A and B are shown apart, each in its own frame.
Chain A
Amino acid sequence: AQSVAQPEDQVNVAEGNPLTVKCTYSVSGNPYLFWYVQYPNRGLQFLLKYITGDNLVKGSYGFEAEFNKSQTSFHLKKPSALVSDSALYFCAVREKGRRALTFGSGTRLQVQP
């Protein structure tokens, strides 16, 4: 079975500081990993994905994520947080060959001015 864990319900960071939102996964095969963001009363927006290759993946709005196979992690990062980054962030995994996405519980990011 595939699963995702987001250990932090909320992350608080000051504007201009770097941010990290943590994600660990469990699959029995090769993972495809995704990050999505959700703003209030909106659907999920795709940020980035890891399929294969370079462990550092760059995505939309200045976000990036680092795939670490030995630690089964896929943490989301941004060098300098903006107040407008405040939202709910979801990590998701799909094992190669499977169809359904499994989402983590979500992490609320609060960026203070």
Chain B
Amino acid sequence: KAGVTQTPRYLIKTRGQQVTLSCSPISGHRSVSWYQQTPGQGLQFLFEYFSETQRNKGNFPGRFSGRQFSNSRSEMNVSTLELGDSALYLCASSPGDGGSSYNEQFFGPGTRLTVL
């Protein structure tokens, strides 16, 4: 079974631009979560989607948004990029409803975003 895939793997943008990152979960997984990883802040939860609905959101500004499609693929968007948005963005999928708290998440390789 193929793992979680994320595209693109690397991205360079300038301040003020916007960016869209894509995530395809493991086949059959319906819950998708996004995380931001930086050296200073570590791994921080962005949001989680299940059945095309955002179920949970972390403490990030409204510039960060996401969506999920009927095939469970997900995208996240960051508008008006800032230098501090440079990070590794990780997508994770899990089977069933994310409300099943005991399910582990399976992570993709991440998208490395650099904002200049």
Contact = CB atoms under 8 A, between A and B. Distances in A.
A67 B32 CA distance: 27
Contact of B42 (A36, A45, A49, A106): A106
A99 B92 CA distance: 13
Given A44-B90, A99-B48, A102-B45, A49 B104 contact: yes
A102 B56 CA distance: 13
B53 to A, nearest CB: 12
A103 B98 CA distance: 16
Contacts of B107: 36, 43-46
* B interface: dominant SS: strand
Contacts of A104: 42
A46 B98 contact: no
B33 A43 contact: no
Interface in A62-104: 90, 94-104
Given A43-B4, A90-B43, A100 B104 contact: no
B102 A32 contact: yes
A34 B92 CA distance: 14
B107 to A, nearest CB: 4
B105 A96 contact: no
Contacts of B105: 46, 101
Contacts of B99: 97, 99
Contacts of A41: 109
Q: Which of the listed residues A44, A95, A98 has the most CB atoms from chain B within 10 Å of its own CB? A: A44
A44 B45 CA distance: 14
Contact of B110 (A43, A45, A95): A43
Contacts of B92: 43-44
Nearest to A100: B45
Interface of B: 4, 6, 33, 35, 42-43, 45, 48, 55-56, 58, 90, 92, 98-99, 101-102, 104-110
Given A46-B104, A46-B105, 4 more contacts: A49-B104, A99-B98, A103-B42, A103-B43
Interface of A: 32, 34, 36, 41-46, 49, 51, 90, 94-106
